[in-house]
Structure 1
Amino acid sequence: MEDKRMGRRKIDSRIPRYQNLIDVTFQVLKMLGGSGTVQEITNKTVELLNLSDDIVDFPHSDSGNQSELEYQLAWARTYLKNSKVIMNSERGVWSITSEYSGIDNIDVKTIIKKTLDKRSNKVQIKDATNEQQENLNDDNSDEVPEEIRPWRKRITDVLMNMDPYGFERLSQRLLRECGFSQVVVTKKSGDGGIDGTGKLRINGIFSFNVAFQCKRYKGVVGPGEIRDFRGSLTTDIEKGVFITTGTFSKAASEEASNPGKQQIDLIDGEDFINKLAEYEIGLREIKDYEIDEEFFKTI
């Protein structure tokens, strides 16, 4: 929700802000052995801070495929990367740089200042007071974390406005690129939640019959929908894949991986877009450069 008078979003006060997640993210990566995916970082943060489901599932107001916690964590990673504390690979794995691999504690204030100094070329603020700095940290309304680019919002809008069958065919294409074969989209109604089936072969030896469901909407998929999908799987189906342009609630993720039940693999909106980019399905990479202005000042 936007506060039009202040020009800032109102966020549930229980959700940790990225200023408080910078050190948490660094410690979480150390706990994970020095590296981790976005999902691993998020899950470990939830565990470490003992966050409740309603805090974890609270949606980010500007995006239907990301929670507010994920958004704040993305900002924390951006600040850490700007200070060369962590880096990310093309496959979306974040890791602690060699310079900081042997360090147990980081100076959060210095890390924040480095990013503020980098942004000061635009806002002309280099020596902000603590109050000014707090206000600037709370207001990123005109910017987005480094890993959340404008094209991602645009492709999200494109996906949301696609023909429903077109989205299913897109999911079919994506699964094929991921190694599935004999992928068939079910077009008849009343199919019990199954939108398609396919076969996944691993290492050219092991194969599994897979059914998938596509849910194209902005919002949170709950555990009930996972249970309904699982209940629709016939005995010949060995794996289920649930695809959504939205997000999965914490309870839905736990339900999908319940050890006493048939496992359901989940692909949320961020994962879906990442895969489209990885396989260049409808997307074409355009090279760009970040200017290190400090380099030109000090050389």
Structure 2
Amino acid sequence: MKRSASSVPTFDSMFLPTIQALQILGGSGTTEEIYDKVVQLLNLPDKVLEISHGSTSQSEVEYRLAWSRTYLKKYGLLQNSARGVWSLLSTSINLDKLDAKEIVKAVRDGDKNKAAPSDAPDEAVGVIETLEELAWHQQLHKTLLSLEPSAFERLAQRLLRESGFIQVQVTGKAGDGGIDGVGIARISGFLSFHVLFQCKRYQGAVSASQIRDFRGAMQGRTDKGLFITTGTFTRDALKEATRDGAPPIDLIDGEQLVQRLKELRLGVKITMIESVEVDSDWFTKI
């Protein structure tokens, strides 16, 4: 969604809402839970949430909120686990005593003391890991957008198979109401249910009406749907997917898609850097 990012809250203005969100969530939360709560606290409209960050799968709000978490972590207020859960280091943080400008200054001064390049962008000073994360995200998202529709459907098929689905078939054809494929999800080897899926190479946000159209195509064919996109979902689309009384539809956005591809090593190579150190003391004992 090509709109001006000037209406998006700055990363430092989201420091306090992020802390407040985690306090409301009981001291910890996933990236998605924090995002949802911050959006609620700031009462951000869909037209702001739909603004994308460049050509990536992230929205501008998600991008800036990621920097907020990074700064709060470097300031010593947050920590995160390898499972993507963020938590407060202290449950007694007083929001009234936190100064956003002081947090920014302290983090940047700390990074400068670590000999960070002086000409690095302000928000990127010393955060090499975050930049590397963004780099491969952008590259993978660009690759996904360049795929032919049929290739993207086959990728979704492979993704579901690697995730434990069986009898996954791509059925996308004209007049099928947007249904691209079908598969059977197995749970613990005992339970199974049929799932219809739709996959959309999209840079914008999927709307509630598109979710309703998909559900209409599912009617009478299955009780479960899966919508995969390289883009994002509007707030109304998220609500529509889990509306009471309607068949549920699980949603996978661009961010979740690239992370899942990374976890499954599908089109993503993870290189571990080997560190070799000579133990001089060992040789003295020969």
Q: Same fold (TM over 0.5)?
A: yes
Aligned in 2, Cα 1:173/1:22: closer, same or farther, shift over 3 Å? same
Matched to 1:247, the amino acid is T
Aligned in 2, Cα 1:144/1:68: closer, same or farther, shift over 3 Å? farther
The aligned counterpart of 2:157 is: 172
Aligned in 2, Cα 1:245/1:203: closer, same or farther, shift over 3 Å? same
The aligned counterpart of 2:42 is: 49
* Map 1:173-212 → 2, pairs under 5 A: 173-212=158-197
Gaps of 5+ in 2: 275-286
The aligned counterpart of 1:71 is: 63
Aligned-CA RMSD value: 2.8
Matched to 1:281, the amino acid is L
Asked if 2 retains the 8 angstrom alpha-carbon contact of 1:78 and 1:145, the reply is no
The aligned counterpart of 1:12 is: 6
Residues in 2 aligned to 1:80 and 1:251: alpha-carbon distance in whole angstroms: 30
Aligned in 2, Cα 1:145/1:113: closer, same or farther, shift over 3 Å? farther
Residues in 1 aligned to 2:4 and 2:110: alpha-carbon distance in whole angstroms: 26
* Map 1:1-299 → 2, pairs under 5 A: 11-13=5-7, 15-60=8-53, 62-97=54-89, 100-105=90-95, 106-120=98-112, 121-122=115-116, 124=118, 146=130, 148-287=133-272
Normalised TM-score (structure 1): 0.80
**How far apart are residue 33 of structure 1 and its match?**
1.5
Matched to 1:12, the amino acid is S
Q: Secondary structure at the match of 1:214?
A: strand
Deviation readout 1:219-247 (Å, 9 max, x if unpaired): 11111111111110142311100000011
Residues in 1 aligned to 2:143 and 2:185: alpha-carbon distance in whole angstroms: 28
Normalised TM-score (structure 2): 0.84
Flag the structure with larger Rg. Answer: 2
Asked if 2 retains the 8 angstrom alpha-carbon contact of 1:34 and 1:95, the reply is yes
Asked if 2 retains the 8 angstrom alpha-carbon contact of 1:64 and 1:219, the reply is no
Matched to 1:243, the amino acid is I
Residues in 1 aligned to 2:234 and 2:41: alpha-carbon distance in whole angstroms: 18
Residues in 1 aligned to 2:33 and 2:188: alpha-carbon distance in whole angstroms: 25
